[in-house]
Amino acid sequence: MKWRGRQGSRNIEDRRRSGGVRAAGGIGGFGLLAVLAIGYFLGVDVTPFLNPGGSQITNGRSVELTPQDEQAAEFVSVTLADTETVWAEIFEQQLNATYRPATMVLFKGATQSPCGGANGASGPFYCPTDRKAYLDTDFFTTLSRRLGASGDFAAAYVVAHEIAHHVQNELGILAEANKARSRMGQAESNRVSVMIELQADCFSGIWARYAQDRLGTLERGDLGEALNAARQIGDDTLQRNAGQRPNPHSFTHGTSAQRQNWFQRGFETADIRQCDTFGASAL
């Protein structure tokens, strides 16, 4: 992915120097990896599992940012700028509307949002209340080293996916879907959650196609990196890697195959109308 030396976004809120929260005690080894994997991509705060019976230590000291931290922030800023360019064009061309960009909050350790506390265990997420996406820049290391999804474009896919939730919010889709979920039982609510996530994957595929055709930023192998990331973070793969038998009723993001297929659909069609997971006969 061609990102170095390019213009970044102004819509970055950098909270990394304010410090955060770290846990004392807890589990380690493969159990830690398994719990983190589930938390990162299922949107579950797994802090209680990481620190059973322990305590959290508030670190009020300023955080020293490493060169790797600064590079991650620059990467996110450039990728965010690309999403702004692409979605502004898509909204104008396909929807005859104006795109209002989201703000990306960068943090390190922990921070707060109107949707609840954010930490390394909760993973990247989008909060519709303040129209902001939240990302701990240390996440990219976990993505590559622990979850087997390496490469710049795998990381870009994560950013694009969270911004895709913002697109859903702008279109009114997210509010309607969450309203419907509030009236449902757990199994039905989970199924709607899968529809939300797979549509975000499809929107991410559209972004990738526009980035290739309009911005010329994709390089050989980039699409494969994104598809591999989608595979590694499928509910079935995450549960299997955590030593569990995949339970479809508990899925909230979709299987590896579903995530890859919907991303691919968005990339191939570049048409937002083709991402209607709610009206699809099969996911």
User: What local confidence, expressed as pLDDT, does residue 49 receive?
Assistant: 36
What's the pLDDT at 150? 81
CA distance from start to end of the chain = 29
Quick one: pLDDT at residue 11?
Answer: 97
Place of tokens 């707060």: 112
Predicted confidence at residue 61, as pLDDT, reads 55
Q: Is 43 helix (H, G, I), strand (E, B) or coil?
A: coil
C-beta of residue 51 within 8 angstroms of C-beta of residue 31: no
State the 10-residue block means of pLDDT for the chain, 283 residues long: 93 82 36 42 41 39 78 95 97 97 93 83 85 90 80 92 97 95 94 96 97 94 93 91 90 95 97 96 90
Distance CA 79, CA 154 (A): 12
CB 73 within 8 A of CB 49: no
Residues 6+ apart with CB under 8 A from 206: 86, 90, 266, 267, 269, 270, 271, 272, 275
CA distance 249 to 233: 17
What pLDDT is recorded for position 145?
78
Output the pLDDT for position 142. Answer: 80
List, as one string, the DSSP characters of 73-140. Answer: HHHHHHHHHHHHHHHHHHIIIIIS----PPEEEEESSEEEETTEEEETTT-SEEETTTTEEEEETTHH
d(CA 55, CA 186): 31
Residue 192, Cβ neighbours under 10 Å: how many?
A: 18
At CB < 8 A and 24+ separation, what contacts does 244-253 make?
Answer: 249/187, 249/190, 250/190, 251/190, 251/194, 252/42, 252/43, 252/190, 252/193, 252/194, 252/197, 253/41, 253/42, 253/43, 253/193, 253/194, 253/197, 253/198
Contact 271, 94 (CB under 8 A): yes
For residue 275, which of 127, 168, 177, 162 has the smallest C-alpha distance? 168
Q: Residue 229's closest CA among 162, 159, 148? A: 148
Amino acid 42: pLDDT: 43
Neighbours of 58 (CB within 10 A): 12
Q: What is the pTM of this model?
A: 0.85
Helix or strand holding residue 12 (H, E): strand 12-14
CA distance 160 to 171: 16
